[in-house]
Amino acid sequence: MRRKKMNNGISTIENGQAPLHTRRATLRLAAVAAAMLITTQMAWAQNNGSSLVIKGKDGWLFAGWGSLTQVDTAGIDRTVQLVAHVNQQLKERNIDLLILMLPDKVHFYADKLPDGTKVSPAVEQRYALIQNKLQRADIQTFDNFTLLKKVRGAGADVFYRTDQHWTLDAADATAQGTADLIRKIKPQLSGTAGTGTPLGALAKERRYGDLAEIFLTPEEKKQIGREVYTVRRQAEGQGLLDDAPAPVHVTGHSMVQPYFGYPQKLSNLLDRPVSLNWKPGNIGPWVMLLEYLESSSFKQTKPQVLVWQMFEPNFNQGPDAAGLWDNAAVMPVDTWTQRVTRALGSSTP
């Protein structure tokens, strides 16, 4: 099995293809991704009076650069307007946009926050607020929060204890929710049955979570311990269909990287190839979308469905969020909008 590497960092997950990297390379990249994200967020957290990591009960760690008390409704509204602008332009090109909104880790483990640290009622309702605004703007999305609450209610973890990232159970449930919505909005995907990614056997890996690796002292790491990560190995003995176009594309950050299993599961459920571009979260969703829309891959083959992964805690932050995104990823909103319009060949700015 292997993957097809396309131009501008776009990869296709399809029948016979391996995850994006070998195991060791993936772990190295995950560490680099975490370091890049945290380096950028340090300045933001310090400027906003936040701790870099919240050390909770029973060894639970939480990223500390998001607010647990305040909701930036005006920022959320601005982001919805930008997403609606993209949605309309994609519709004109017969491409369906699907927003994959991932919820904050704290919603599922508020009981693990340290004594005296609480999530405000407004933040508890932030995900629902965003979903409501997206739906009122006629933007396709689904309630991933409720799906993951069901996973948690069934006794499975949805995030790792000392990591920012989700578990395989959470990724699988989210892939199912994504596939269900795709089938609803696009009942007939192009391509051939049998070209989805076959799922390999499960395996266990022991390592420190990214928050522990970056923020804890050696003694603290020793006390908190490594975690057991459940990952899927690549399936063996499958054929290669390197030329099969992907009717679905996913763009996002490290949550949707192949290591955590989401794109492979989505491809398997849809029984079609799924293409992907991702980078660490400090790059932000705005540049990730541009990277894909401006790529030769997009110009050559348009998907039927574009899945744009975004994150609840920073959904209010636009392309111009200096100090939150990497410096090279920050740009005026007008510049971002113009580049989207140019990439889509639209005459409407």
Q: Residue 286: name the closest of 346, 329, 254, 344 by CA.
A: 329
pTM: 0.88
Q: What is the mean pLDDT of residues 4-15?
A: 49
The yes-or-no verdict on residue 45 having pLDDT over 80 is no
The count of residues in the chain is 349
> What are the φ/ψ torsions at residue 231 (nearest 5 degrees)?
-130, 160
pLDDT per position as a tens digit, 164-179: 999 999 999 999 999 9
pLDDT per position as a tens digit, 210-259: 999 989 999 999 999 999 999 998 877 544 444 578 999 999 999 999 99
The yes-or-no verdict on residue 20 having pLDDT over 60 is no
pLDDT at site 11: 64
Decide: 63 and 98 in contact? Cβ < 8 Å.
no
The yes-or-no verdict on residue 106 having pLDDT over 80 is yes
Q: What is the mean pLDDT of residues 182-203?
A: 94
Assign 281 a pLDDT band (cuts: 50, 70, 90): confident
Q: Read off the tokens for 102.
A: 């991932």
Gap between the Cα atoms of 74 and 316, Å rounded: 8
Assign 269 a pLDDT band (cuts: 50, 70, 90): very high
Beta-bridged to residue 159, according to DSSP, are 166
Gap between the Cα atoms of 241 and 156, Å rounded: 35
pLDDT at site 334: 97
Q: What is the mean pLDDT of residues 111-136?
A: 97
Domain boundaries, the chain: 4-343
Q: What is the mean pLDDT of residues 296-306?
A: 95
The yes-or-no verdict on residue 341 having pLDDT over 90 is yes
